[in-house]
Amino acid sequence: RTIGDRIGEAKASGNLGNTLKILGQFDEAVVCCQRHLDISQEQGDKVGEARALYNIGNVYHAKGKHLSWNMTQDPGFLPPEVKETLQKASEYYERNLSLVKELGDRAAQGRAYGNLGNTQYLLGNFSEAIAFHKERLAIAKEFGDKAAERRAYSNLGNAHIFLGRFDISAEYYKKTLQVSRQLKDQAVEAQACYSLGNTYTLLQDYERAIEYHLKHLVIAQELGDR
C-alpha cells in the first residue's frame, strides 16, 4: 500500500483470505478475498480476478462444510444457512469457470468442475453433480492427473448411490480401486473396497460384499488403522 503496488496489495489480500479460511475465520476471509477481487477487476487483471473468484468459492465451500459437520443427515437435507452458503460457493465457482474458459486455462477449469460437483452433491443436486464430475474426469485424463481422476471416479460413485443406480456406482468404485492401486495409495484403496462392500450389499450380492469388506479389513490391519 505504501508504495502504491495495487496488484501486490491484491495478492496479499488473497493470501490473507486463504489463511483466515484455514483458521476457520470465514467472514473475515471473505472480506480479504473480496478485496483481492475488487482490486483485480479495477486493474483489469483477469488471472487475479479468476483466482479471487475461486478463493471466495472455497471460503463459502469450507464454511458450508464446517456448518454441516455437526449434522449427520444425507446430502441435500440442509438447514437454510448451510444451503445458502453452499449456493454462494457454487455461484462463485460458476463465475470462476466462465472466466477461466475465457482465459483458456484447462487445469483451472478442472478444479472448478470438481468443486462445482462437490457443492452440488452437498446440496443434493446429484444429476448436476454427476455432470460436473464427468467434466472433471475428462480434464484429469487430459492431463494424466491420476489423483484427480481417482477423486472423480469416487465422487461419481457417491452421486450415483443417491440416485439409486447402485450398479453404475459399483463400476465407478472399481475404477477408483484400480487407480488407487496404480497410485499405490493403500488408504484410498481401503476406502474404495469399503464403498464397494456397501454397494454390493445394496445390490444384495452378499458374497461380493463380504469379499470387499475383507479386503478393506486386511488393509486397515496392515496400516494399523484402528
User: Given this chain, do its domains 1-144 and 149-225 carry the same CATH topology?
Assistant: yes
93 touches 116 (CB < 8 A) = yes
Assigned fold of 1-144: 1.25.40
Q: Where are the domains of the chain?
A: 1-144, 149-225
- In degrees, rounded to 5, the angle at the alpha carbon of residue 8 between the alpha carbons of residues 45 and 51 is 45
Q: Pick from 110, 69, 117: which is nearest to 89 by CA? A: 117
Query: What confidence score (pLDDT) does residue 186 get?
Result: 96
CATH of the domain spanning 149-225, picked from 3.30.70.980, 1.25.40.10, 3.40.640.10, 3.30.750.24: 1.25.40.10
Q: Which residues contact 202 (CB under 8 A, 6 or more apart)?
A: 161, 166
Judged on CB neighbours under 10 Å (0-12, 13-18, 19+), 17 is: buried
In this prediction, the residues of the chain whose per-residue pLDDT falls under 70 are 72-73
CB atoms within 10 A of CB 128: 17
Residue 25 has what DSSP assignment?
A: -
Residue (of 208, 199, 135, 201) closest to 172 by Cα position: 199
State the pLDDT at residue 72: 64
Compute CA 123 distance to the chain's CA centroid, rounded to the nearest angstrom.
13
